[in-house]
Structure 1
Amino acid sequence: MIDDILDTDMKPLGKEAWGRVLSPVNKADLFKDSGAPARHVRGIHPPAGIDHMRLKTTDVFRIPGMGEFDVDFSGFFKVIRSDPSTEDWKTATVYVNFLELKLFGEHDQLGEISVDLNPNVVSAGNTFPGRRETVACRINVAARFHVERLGKTFFNKTPIQLMNEDVQGIPTIGEGGQAHVASLPLYDWERPNGELFGYVEELNYQVLDYARELEVETMREATKMSEFKALSAERGLRM
């Protein structure tokens, strides 16, 4: 019995939801060396919790009239997980909501780029029994891309769907894959009903491991990669 899911008729703070919405009440905040399991066990469902995970992505943007741009990002995401619907690894469903996302990247033509969540949408998804006797996962992400040199913020109106066809463990430490984007359009945050600006053509991601609390605090405080590097150096954090 999953008892941590909001009433299905409840509208979460007026937001659009791209999946089932979870309540964070009575969920443990898990960081490396502070609450997170010392050892990652694959194929066994952990109890519900709130994970703070380090993440890397490589995104390919296409902007008509400007070209294509490959950008490497690094940062963290905060995600809440429900209890599994059954105790069996291969038959259970686990619901997921992204609560935070902060990624930093830079490109010689576009300058520094930071990524966070669209505050008007609940980014959500779930694991589920796959078609080939695997555990699969889909998470629908609503993101914003803050591009310094262009002086603009872009966002997606349709989901960036993170996909994993063969989940080995929860959280998915050391796992990754491709996102379903298919020339996903990006719009100007200040002119949401204006002409689209560009596209996300590809997105590859890898979940690393749990982040330490000080790392997360530092990434939250920084607005771009140069600030994150400076703050990390001040606080003795290894990049």
Structure 2
Amino acid sequence: MTTTRVLIADDQMMVRQGFTVLLDAEPGIEVVGQAVDGIDAVAKVAELTPDVVLMDIRMPGVGGIEATRRIMASPADTTKVLVLTTFDLDEYVYEALRAGASGFLLKDASAAELAHAVRVVASGEALLAPNITKRLIAEFSRMADVPRSPVKGRSGNLTERETEVLSLIAQGLSNAEIAERLVVAEQTIKTHVSRILVKLSLRDRTQAAIHAYETGLVRPGGY
């Protein structure tokens, strides 16, 4: 079994220790380090190369958003960031996802939810439930200046089917749901998703969804 290596970044010692105990008890997951703030998190990622960082958004000094941005800035870095937040409507979640985070998790999540989230993000999937995606759409509608037509050169090299799959990803559908919608095998959708990410130089489904809205391929309220 491949072990998923995790770094926990949070300024509260009890949170770091609690999550460490929970995750170390899970098969196939190992906590390889802890960071007390954003600067420490960036340094520990470079030193330990974890698969996933559990990143608190609000930390003194360099916070989770800037730390995520710095970690994602390295093209050779394959570390995924899972944002930790107290409230699911945290105003900073939107910016953290734009900075490159693969999803977010509430700090009061159960041990099972925590382990599931780490495994999902480590596998390259995005941790975005449909209800979360709807709130993101609302944020894009409020905060982003979304063009009325797709930005040329950003999605133009996708096939018609890949463009359709990208649109459905942006609506929060899973691979299985997309496969059912398009009446094809789930493996076919996985192949399409992989090609979309490669063609657009994106890290995961979260970034694909954001790309779809920011380029105007999908518009809030008008898929």
Q: What TM-score comes out, normalization by structure 2 length?
A: 0.27
Structure scoring higher RCO (CA < 8 A, sep ≥ 6) equals 1
Q: What TM-score comes out, normalization by structure 1 length?
A: 0.25
- Structure with greater helix share of residues: 2
